[in-house]
Amino acid sequence: MAYTAADVKNLRERTGAGMMDCKKALDESNGDLEAAVDALRAKGLAAAAKKSSRTAAEGLVGVAVSGTKGVAVEVNSETDFVAKNEQFQDFVRNTTEVALGVSGDDIEALKAASYPTGGTVAEALTNNVATIGENQQVRRMKTVEVANGVVVPYMHNAAAPNLGKIGVLVALESEAPADVLEALGKQIAMHIAAAFPLALTADDLDAELIERERKIAQEKAAESGKPENVQQKMVEGAIAKYAKENALLSQVFVMDNKTPIQQVVDAAGKEAGSKIVLKDYVRFQLGEGIEKEESDFAAEVAAAVAG
C-alpha cells in the first residue's frame, strides 16, 4: 500500500515519533497507518535506546540539599525546547532528590535507584525518551557533605526552583549560626558561578592543566631571549599566577574585587566567633565538555523525502 507525505505527518503527530522513524514504520507496514502506529508503540523502548547515539548537549542542572548533604545532577537533552518541558523538569527534580540517597557520585547507582513514581531512575528516563521523543542522558552527579555546618545551594538564572544551567553548592564546616553560614555560602556561591574556579586549592588543580600552562609559559619565556635563570623565574611566576587565579580559595572575591576568598571566609568566622572552613564546592555548568552536533534541518527533511 502506498503512502504520502501527509501520512508521515499524520503518524508523527499521532505518535510524537521522529520523521525518519515514521517513514520506516510506514515502509514496514506497507502504508497501513494503524499498523505503523502499533509498530511505533511496540518499538517505543527500542527507539529510545537507538536515540542514545545522538548528542545531548542541552538540558538542566538540578541541585538539592538535605540537612548537611547536597547534590548536583546534570541531565542532558538534545534541545533547549525539551528542557522547558514540565515532564523533563519533573524528572530532573525527582532524580536530583533521589541522588541525595545515593552513596558517592556513581551515576550507574543513581540510575539503578528507585524512582518516586515507581521503577528505577533508568526506567523513568527510558519512558521519558519514548514519550518526549528525544534523547536524554543522566550525565553526572557530585555530592558534598559536612559533619557540622551547612551546604548552600545556588542556581544562576534558574529556569525553575533549583533547576537551571549553572548550579552551585558550597559546603561550609562550622559551628557558627546557620543563618550566618547561609548568607556567607550564598555570596561565595555567586562568586563561584561568576568566577568559574577549577579547584578548591592550588594543590587540587589538574596536573595536566598545570603542565599545559607550563609549556605555554616556557615558550613565552624562550621568546623573550632572556637568560635561562630569568626564563625559569618567568615560568614559575606564570604558573603561580595561573594557580592563584583558578583555585577558589585564592581567587579575588568578585563582590569587592580585592579580597581573596580564604580571607573572606576567615573574616566571617572571626566575626561569628567560630572558625569556618570552606570544605568543598560544586559548580556544574550545563554541557561542559560536550561537543554539540550542528544539525541542518532542511538537509534532514530533504534526506527523508529522498528516501
Q: Is residue 251 part of a domain?
A: no
Q: Which parts of the chain sit beneath pLDDT 70?
A: 1, 41-56, 291-307
| Total count of domains within the chain | 1
Measured CA to CA, the distance from residue 254 to residue 191 in angstroms comes to 6
Q: Are 3 and 31 in contact (CB under 8 A)?
A: yes
Q: In this predicted structure, what is the pLDDT of residue 6?
A: 84
Three-class HEC string of the chain: CCCCHHHHHHHHHHHCCCHHHHHHHHHHCCCCHHHHHHHHHHCHHHHHHHHHHCCCCEEEEEEEEECCEEEEEEEEECCHHHHCCHHHHHHHHHHHHHHCCCCCCCHHHHHHCECCCCCEHHHHHHHHHHHHCCCEEEEEEEEEECCCEEEEEEEECCCECCEECEEEEEEEECCCCHHHHHHHHHHHHHHHHHHCCCECCHHHCCHHHHHHHHHHHHHHHHHHCCCHHHHHHHHHHHHHHHHHHHEHHHCECCCCCCCEHHHHHHHHHHHHCCCCEEEEEEEEECCCCCCCCCCCHHHHHHHHHHC
* pTM of structure: 0.75
Q: Has residue 224 been placed in a domain?
A: no
Q: How far apart are CA 109 and CA 102, in angstroms?
A: 7
Predicted local confidence at residue 44, as pLDDT: 53
Which of 204, 248, 63 is CA-nearest to residue 141?
63
Inter-residue contact 290 to 76 (CB < 8 Å): yes
Which CATH number do you get for residue 23? Answer: 1.10.8.10
Rounded Cα gap, residues 154 and 157, in angstroms: 10
CA separation (Å) from 5 to 13, 17, 64?
Answer: 12, 15, 46
In a domain, 121, yes or no: no
Please check whether residue 124 lies inside any domain of the structure: no
- Listed residue (15, 259, 265, 214) closest to 133, CA to CA: 15
Give the span between the Cα atoms of 3 and 30, in whole angstroms: 8
Using CA atoms, how far apart are residues 34 and 40, in angstroms rounded to an integer?
10
Task: Give the CA dihedral 111, 115, 120, 121, nearest 10 degrees.
Answer: -30
Residue 33 lies in a domain: yes
63, part of any domain? no
Cβ atoms of 91 and 128 within 8 Å: the answer is yes
Give me the domain span that covers residue 11. 5-42
Kindly state whether residue 23 falls inside one of the protein's structural domains.
yes
Give domain status of residue 146, yes or no: no
Q: Which amino acid is at 209?
A: L
23, three cell numbers = 517513514
